[in-house]
Every structure is written in structure tokens, then in C-alpha cells.
């Protein structure tokens, strides 16, 4: 369970109503049942539930069970989609090990104004669900050239390009990453309408970028995101 408070042994934490209801009535946790907490800064802590009402409860923090882990060093850049699928994208990015989630506004981006707070809430929920202790950061939307400039030169950017020649993606990733230690990584997935020609030129002009085909079929942007994140993690992720 994600909390915002600083955590320490012996602390008594009143739970927010929705969280208390979730623990008591959805997970049906009872008094003295263990609850694992994290705040994204101090690792994981065990607490016990002290119900104080049918829909209210406190947590009594006991001890730390896992040390804090750093954010994964994988940046996920994507052109926003309609909000329901945006929730999905944010959650899959967290599950697939993204440490930074960076919305990129492109010419054909369809999504209305990006609700960053909603994306951040999705990142917290996904972190709770997949058991990670660092909550991936969601950046404010940036236009494509600004987003590309914000990436460190040494970060290998894997650009999902449905027009790239269909080749062996594993070999292409390995060749781009070079031998030895994998470089810091970023992935870039376009909008439903794809990238505009001038955007493709901007992307291609960035050194340390590999245009990667994900096969001969045109994937939906949210499908492409999961595919490329899984590939990058499997080939270059060394267990990240």
C-alpha cells in the first residue's frame, strides 16, 4: 500500500477512507493482519491494521522489511492516446520497468490535454500492484524536439518505427547497444497517426538512436509499447 507519510517503527497512521475501505472490505483484512507499506523513499515496511470503524482504520507501523530500491533507469517516451488507453499505457510502462514516463506531443497526437496527475496516480497504483518500491516519475508533456533534447546523449533511444526494415529486433538492439555494459535506455512510441515526416527527420538526426521494426504488422501504439519494452528488457535489461 502506498502512503505519503514518513515511516518509522511504532508510528500510528490513520488511513484515507478509500484505502481503509479497500483493506477492510475489498481485501477483507482483519485486525492484526499484516499490511506492507511503501512511500517511495524509505523502502517497504510491515504494519498491522487497527480497525477503528466499519470503513475507517489505522495502521500501526512495525518494522522495515525491504530496503529502498532505486528507480529503474529506463525512459519511456510516448505520444499520448485517448485517456482510457493512457491509463493502460502508464500502468504497462511501470510494470515493464520504466523509471521515467515522458508524454511527448507530436503533430498527430490525438489525446486531449494530458492529465498528468491521473498518469501519476496510475503510476502509484501500478507500483503497488507490481510490488516495486520506487514510484516511476511522470514528466509534464513536452513537444518532440524538446523531449529529445532532454535525453542525455549517452542514452540509447529505441525508436519504434513501423517503416524501418523488418529485421531481427534482438540483433538490431544488440548491435545498437554495442558490446559490454548496456547503455542507459529510452524507448519512443508514436501516436495512432504515426510520426509526421519532419518529426521522423528530427528523430533520425539524434545520434545514439536506433529505429526498430517490431514486425510487418502495424501495431496499435499501446501494443507497440508493451512489445518494445519487453524486447528491450529481455535483450538489454540485464534483469532491470
Residues binding ligand SAM (CB under 6 A): 160-162, 189-190, 192-195, 213-215, 217-221, 224
The CA distance from 194 to 206, in Å, is 18
Residue 216: Cβ within 10 Å count: 7
* Phi and psi, residue 63, nearest 5°: -145, 165
Report the residue number, 15 or 89, with the smaller CB distance to ligand SAM.
89
Smallest distance, ligand SAM to C-beta of residue 197, A: 11
Report the residue number, 87 or 162, with the smaller CB distance to ligand SAM.
162
Report the residue number, 97 or 190, with the smaller CB distance to ligand SAM.
190
Report the residue number, 23 or 225, with the smaller CB distance to ligand SAM.
225
Smallest distance, ligand SAM to C-beta of residue 189, A: 4
Strands 34-38 and 137-138: unpaired
DSSP 4-45: -S---TT-EEEPPHHHHHIIIIIS---TT-EEEEE-SSS-EE
Task: Identify the burial level of 218 via C-beta atoms within 10 angstroms of its C-beta, where 0-12 means exposed, 13-18 middle and 19 or more buried.
Answer: exposed
Report the residue number, 35 or 89, with the smaller CB distance to ligand SAM.
89
Report the residue number, 67 or 216, with the smaller CB distance to ligand SAM.
216
Smallest distance, ligand SAM to C-beta of residue 238, A: 23
Smallest distance, ligand SAM to C-beta of residue 221, A: 4
Smallest distance, ligand SAM to C-beta of residue 88, A: 14
- Which residue of this chain has its Cβ atom nearest to ligand SAM in the complex? 190
Smallest distance, ligand SAM to C-beta of residue 211, A: 8
Strands 44-51 and 34-38: antiparallel
Contacts with 35 (C-beta within 8 Å, 6 or more apart), sequence order: 1, 23, 29, 46, 47, 48, 49, 59
Amino acid at each position: 500500500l502506498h502512503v505519503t507519510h514518513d515511516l518509522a517503527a511504532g508510528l500510528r497512521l490513520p488511513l484515507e477512507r478509500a484505502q481503509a475501505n479497500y483493506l477492510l472490505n475489498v481485501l477483507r483484512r482483519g485486525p492484526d493482519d499484516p499490511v506492507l507499506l511503501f512511500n517511495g523513499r524509505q523502502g517497504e515496511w510491515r504494519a498491522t491494521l487497527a480497525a477503528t470503524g466499519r470503513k475507517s482504520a489505522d495502521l500501526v507501523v512495525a518494522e522495515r522489511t525491504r530496503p529502498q530500491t532505486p528507480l529503474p533507469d529506463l525512459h519511456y517516451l510516448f505520444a499520448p492516446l485517448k485517456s482510457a488507453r493512457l491509463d493502460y499505457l502508464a500502468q504497462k510502462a511501470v510494470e515493464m520497468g520504466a523509471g521515467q514516463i515522458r508524454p511527448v506531443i507530436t503533430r498527430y497526437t490525438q489525446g486531449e490535454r494530458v492529465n498528468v496527475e491521473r498518469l501519476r496516480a496510475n503510476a502509484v497504483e501500478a507500483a503497488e500492484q507490481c510490488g516495486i518500491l520506487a514510484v516511476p516519475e511522470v514528466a509534464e508533456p513536452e513537444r518532440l524536439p524538446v523531449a529529445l533534447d532532454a535525453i542525455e546523449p549517452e542514452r540509447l533511444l529505441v525508436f519504434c518505427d513501423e517503416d524501418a526494415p523488418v529485421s531481427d529486433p534482438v540483433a538490431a538492439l544488440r548491435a545498437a547497444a554495442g558490446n559490454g555494459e548496456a547503455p542507459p535506455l529510452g524507448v519512443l512510441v508514436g501516436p495512432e497517426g504515426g510520426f509526421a515526416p519532419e518529426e521522423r527527420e528530427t528523430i533520425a538526426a539524434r545520434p545514439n538512436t536506433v529505429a526498430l521494426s517490431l514486425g510487418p504488422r502495424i501495431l496499435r501504439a499501446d501494443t507497440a509499447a508493451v512489445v518494445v519494452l519487453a524486447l528491450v528488457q529481455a535483450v538489454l535489461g540485464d534483469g532491470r
